[in-house]
A and B are shown apart, each in its own frame.
Chain A
Amino acid sequence: MTNSPTNSVPNTTTRVNYFTGLARRRRKLSLIPANGDGSTLSLDFTTGVLDPRLTFTRSTNATFINSQGLVEWAAANLQIYSQDQSQSGTWVRQDLSGVDANVGATTDPLGGNTASKLKSAATLQAHLVYSTVSTSINVGLAYTFSVYVKKAELKFVALHLASTARYTVVFDLDTGAMTTTNTTGSPTGTAYSSASMGGGWWRLSITMNSQASPVYPHICLSNSGTPGTNASGQPYYTGVLNEGIYTWGAQLNPGSSPLAYVATTTAQKFDTPRFDYDPSTLQPRGLLIEGSATNLARRSDDFNTTVTDGTQWITSGYTAGTLSTTLPDGTTGNARRLSIASGAGAFRSSTITVNESTAYTFSFWARNNGGSQARFRVWNATAGSSIVDYTLSSSNYVSQIGGANNTSSTWVRVSVTFTTPVGCTSIYVYPCSSDSGTVDLLIWGAQLETGSGASSYIPTGASTGSRAADVCTMSNITALNYNANGGTLFAHFSNNTENANFAGSIGFNNGANYAQRLRWGSGSLIGSYFQTNGTTALGSNLGGSRTSFASAKAATSYSFDGTTTSTAMSINGAQATTTPTSSAVSGVSIATAFALNSDNSSAATAYPSLAVRSVKFYPTALTMAQMNAITANP
């Protein structure tokens, strides 16, 4: 249950009056106000379902840790007009007599009438529609094209992906079976799948690594399970006029499997909320709310590439092999294996341009394959000196990946935060570097980003990649009874990154200015902030610290007694280190909206990466004892 405005029954026990036989209710003693817990907003983000009162947006793809502890892309669709292949401006036709929209002859997979029908022309040609997708394509990454297809007069269809290379798979629409495949050029990362969706519909997919941008998804009619083909590998035959197939729900998504279908019209859609899980305990961590971030490490999980365009990773000393295994994203593939019995070795990125005197975090997944050590390193390529030296004991992360000589460890994300020296403008990052001893190590998924702490993984190909900020808002808070006389905001969260400023992250605003919010500051600091009359700060900022990157609870309150407004804050069961304040101003601004990561005076890069478990609002100022009670046991 995620939607739980808590005007609910109080916490009571029931006893029977022996004289009257009637039950009477007796309240339990509690520091929490009556009327349930007294809150008018209670958001539980650990259920994996977003409260329908919230609106969530993000303008790019993004990944998260799923309930199996695996890295997964959030559902997204890069293909516009996903349910309407009759949109000829998007779906270019070749040798079709037409494409019917909203056909009545069959229901779509949802039971409606939004399916399209592709109809063949009576020509000796390939009969198809294709689209052009050029945005959010990072050359080198895998993309999966999926379509819901149902037979009409024709019982075969081919899906075709074109980049520099091409990949074609023909499917039988009676059985869903692949009948033949075809490649031109040298496509890599190819795969296909089919799944029955009922009613004669199949969800078919093909996957291929992009070699260039754009990527061109095709839906091709076929008169045979093993058709003749043209030079592109597409079915090529003399069509029978108007014979065709039904189509619906086309999707192009990053990754090597079809993600949950996301309908599109005029624009790509990325704004699926991400509910994150602890990769070790598999316990829910809540809603990921992250600022924007960039992975400056190119070819982040393509350590085996044979390209020599300057973006490839470089090995010296080590035997750079591969091991087919389950990767951190759950796929089976060749992990980069680095090994050496003795002597020196190094495995590093290409040159990465950085800013001087700036904090960065380098992260990657690693798994021990029997080595006695595993050491990371960061090198100042400008000055030719170490920033993080591999000989330091703290650079040896073998204990994090199962210990020395372990051959059965699981994947672990390793990270190190460092600050570039004055004058440093380029660096190398090394998942492994050593000068003696045994190394036998698997690695995957490197990321270099600004700030302290690793945010969600941003896969990259030949280009560096940027993820946009998550924004989650509630535009109608009328039922919350937000008022000038008193209120308390509570949040239970953990953070993946720490930024150096106090960007707003969770709070109430009036559209132009904040009324009340919790905000994350430098290092382990968390503060609260209030405004009245628009822009006037209400008293001093309150704040205190908690253990970095650990689960934490914070609450902050305001109250107005007719003369002065008082504010207070509690963190993890204790009063914040700054003392409560009061000012001779008339209450906070009256908020009209609630938001996570929406701050009209901060850049999206300023927000930390948070996993928010729960949020509550009480339309009254709780006492410090009450706030300490609700923030205890983080």
Chain B
Amino acid sequence: MDYLLRSTTKSDLDDALIAAGLAEERTDEDGEVMVLPVAGVTLDRIGAIPPVIDEENVVIRAGDPRFHANLRVSFELTKEQEDELPTFTPLPGVPYRVFI
């Protein structure tokens, strides 16, 4: 199952994923703390969506400065988990990025 996520900041997104039990904080060998997805979860952090600009530099489609991510889970989420996720509507007809 795929989810398109959008939050104000990367930190907000990480908080939501942790609250949903889909990511957790881990410390790497250099002592740096990172938020990484748990097993069965694939997370693609996108960030801001850039505008689409034509060859005359005219903006065809506006960008979105909020933080975006694509989420793929290999198991069924509970309603409580889904409620924690910053999903949004309407979904774009052609997303900026997809999992291939």
- For B, the interface residue count at a CB cutoff of 8 angstroms equals 28
Interface string of B9-37 (1 = CB under 8 A from A): 00000000000000000111100001010
| Contact of A145 with B by CB under 8 A | no
Known contacts: A59-B74, A353-B50. The answer to whether A254 contacts B29 by CB under 8 A is no
List the interface of chain A (C-beta within 8 A of B): 59-62, 134-139, 212-213, 254, 267, 292, 294, 308-311, 314, 350-351, 353, 426, 458-460, 462-468, 502, 529, 537, 600-604
CB <8 Å contact, A603 and B29: no
Known contacts being A309-B60, A601-B27, is A212 close to B93, with CB within 8 Å? yes
Whose C-beta in chain B lies nearest to the C-beta of A63?
B100
Which B residues are closer than 8 A to A by beta carbons? 1-2, 26-29, 34, 36, 42, 44, 50, 52-55, 60-61, 70, 72, 74, 93-100
Given contacts A267-B74, A601-B27, contact A310 B52 (CB under 8 A): yes
- Give A458 to B97 CA distance when docked, in angstroms: 12
Residue of A nearest to B75 (CB): A267
B98 touches A138 (CB 8 A): yes
In the complex where A310-B60, A468-B72, A601-B34 touch, is A294 in contact with B52 (Cβ < 8 A)?
no
Given known A59-B74, A60-B72, A310-B54, contact A465–B99 (CB-CB < 8 A): yes
> How many angstroms between the C-alpha atoms of A222 and B54 in the bound complex?
46
Residue of B nearest to A464 (CB): B97
Chain A nearest CB: distance from B67 CB in Å?
Answer: 14
Q: With contacts A212-B94, A350-B53, A537-B29 known, what are 4 further pairs, Cβ within 8 A? A: A62-B100, A309-B61, A350-B55, A466-B100
Residues of B within 8 A of A537 (CB): 29
Q: In the complex the two chains form, is A463's CB within 8 Å of B52's CB?
A: no
In whole Å, how far is B15's beta carbon from the nearest beta carbon of chain A? Answer: 17
CA distance A465 to B1 in the complex (A): 17
> Does the CB pair B100–A254 fall under 8 Å?
yes
The CB with the most chain B CB atoms within 10 A, among A137, A294, A463, is that of A463
Distance between Cα atoms of A462 and B100 in the complex (Å): 12
A529 vs B28: C-alpha distance in the bound complex, in angstroms?
13
The 8 closest A-B pairs by CB, nearest first: A353-B50, A310-B52, A601-B28, A310-B60, A465-B100, A59-B42, A135-B2, A464-B97
Which residue in A135, A309, A314, A601 is a CB contact (below 8 Å) of B99?
A: A135
* Chain B residues in 8 Å Cβ range of A464: 96-98
- List residues of chain A with CB within 8 A of the CB of B34: 601-603
Q: List 16 A-B contacts (CB under 8 A).
A: A59-B42, A60-B99, A61-B100, A309-B61, A310-B54, A310-B60, A310-B61, A350-B52, A350-B53, A351-B52, A351-B53, A466-B97, A466-B100, A468-B99, A601-B36, A603-B34
Q: Is the CB of A426 within 8 A of B50?
A: yes
Contact assessment for B98 and A137 in the assembled complex, using a CB-CB cutoff below 8 Å = yes
Taking chain B's interface residues, is the majority helix, strand, or loop, or is none over half, making it mixed?
strand
Q: Which residues of A contact B72 (CB under 8 A)?
A: 59-60, 135, 468
Most buried by B among A62, A459, A466, A467: A466
When C-beta atoms are compared, the residue in chain A nearest to B40 turns out to be A59
Given contacts A59-B42, A601-B34, contact A294 B29 (CB under 8 A): no
Cα(A626)–Cα(B11), bound, Å: 50
Q: How far is the CB of B35 from chain A (nearest CB, A)?
A: 9
Separation of A270 and B72 alpha carbons in the complex (Å): 12
Choice from A62, A294, A350, A601 contacting B97 with Cβ under 8 Å: A294
B90 to A: closest C-beta gap in Å: 14
- Complex: chain B residue closest to A60, CB-CB: B99
A-B contacts, CB under 8 A, total:
98
B100 x A314 contact (CB < 8 A):
no
Least Cβ distance of B97 to chain A in Å? 4
Alpha-carbon separation in the docked complex, A59 to B70 (Å) = 12
Interface pair B98/A136, CB less than 8 Å apart = yes
Q: Which residues of A contact B74 (CB under 8 A)?
A: 59, 267
CB pair B50–A463 under 8 Å, yes or no, is: no
Q: In whole angstroms, what is the CA distance A45 to B89 when docked?
A: 45
Once the chains bind, are A467 and B100 in contact (CB under 8 Å)?
yes
CB <8 Å contact, B95 and A463: yes
> Contact: B97 with A463, CB < 8 Å?
yes
User: What is the CA–CA distance of A182 and B61 in the complex, to the nearest angstrom?
Assistant: 35
* Distance in angstroms between the alpha carbons of A62 and B42 in the assembled complex: 15
Q: Decide: A466 and B29 in contact? CB cutoff 8 A.
A: no
Q: How far is A424 from B36 in the complex, measured between Cα atoms in Å?
A: 28
Chain A, residue nearest B58 (CB)? A310
Closest to A137 in B: B98
A466-B44, A537-B29, A601-B26 in contact; A139/B96 too (CB < 8 A)? no
Known contacts A464-B96, A465-B99, A603-B34; is-contact A309 B52 (Cβ 8 Å): yes
Given known contacts A139-B94, A601-B34, A529 and B29 CB-to-CB distance under 8 angstroms: yes
A179 to B42: give the CA distance in the assembly, Å: 44
Q: Which residue on chain B has the smallest CB distance to residue A463?
A: B98
A600's partner among B26, B50, B97 (CB-CB below 8 A) is: B26
| Chain A contacts for B97, CB-based, 8 A | 294, 463-466
Min CB distance, B17 to chain A, in Å? 13
Determine the chain A residues whose CB is within 8 A of the CB of B44 once the complex forms.
Answer: 292, 294, 466
User: Least Cβ distance of B100 to chain A in Å?
Assistant: 4
Residues of A within 8 A of B95 (CB): 463
Cα distance A134–B98 in the bound complex, in angstroms: 11
Contact A60 B42 (CB under 8 A): yes
Across-interface contacts of A502 in B (CB, < 8 A): 29
Asked if residues A458 and B100 are in contact (CB atoms below 8 Å), the reply is: yes
Q: Which among B27, B29, B95, B100 has the highest number of chain A CB atoms within 10 Å?
A: B100
CA distance A136 to B28 in the complex (A): 31
| Chain B residues with CB below 8 A from A350, complex form | 52-53, 55
Q: Cβ of A60: which chain B residues have Cβ within 8 Å of it?
A: 42, 72, 99-100
Contact A59 B99 (CB under 8 A): yes
Give, as a whole number of angstroms, the nearest-CB distance from B43 to chain A. Answer: 8
Q: Which of B26, B27, B55, B96 has the most CB of A within 10 A?
A: B55
Q: Which residues of A contact B28 (CB under 8 A)?
A: 601-602
Please give me the residue from chain A that is nearest to B73 by CB atom. Answer: A59
Please give, as numbers and ranges, the residues of chain B lying within 8 Å of A267 by CB-CB distance. Answer: 74
CA of A529 to CA of B52, assembled, Å:
45
- Report B-chain residues with C-beta under 8 Å of the C-beta of A212: 93-94
Chain B residues closer than 8 Å to A458, beta-carbon distance: 100
- In the bound complex, CA of A16 to CA of B34 (Å): 65
CB distance from A422 to the nearest CB of B (A): 19
Contacts of B70 in A (CB 8 A): 466
Q: State A74–B1 Cα separation when bound (angstroms).
A: 20
Whole-angstrom CA separation of A213 from B94 in the bound complex: 8
- Bound-state CA distance A223–B42 (Å) is 45
- Give the distance to chain A from B92, nearest Cβ to Cβ, in Å: 9
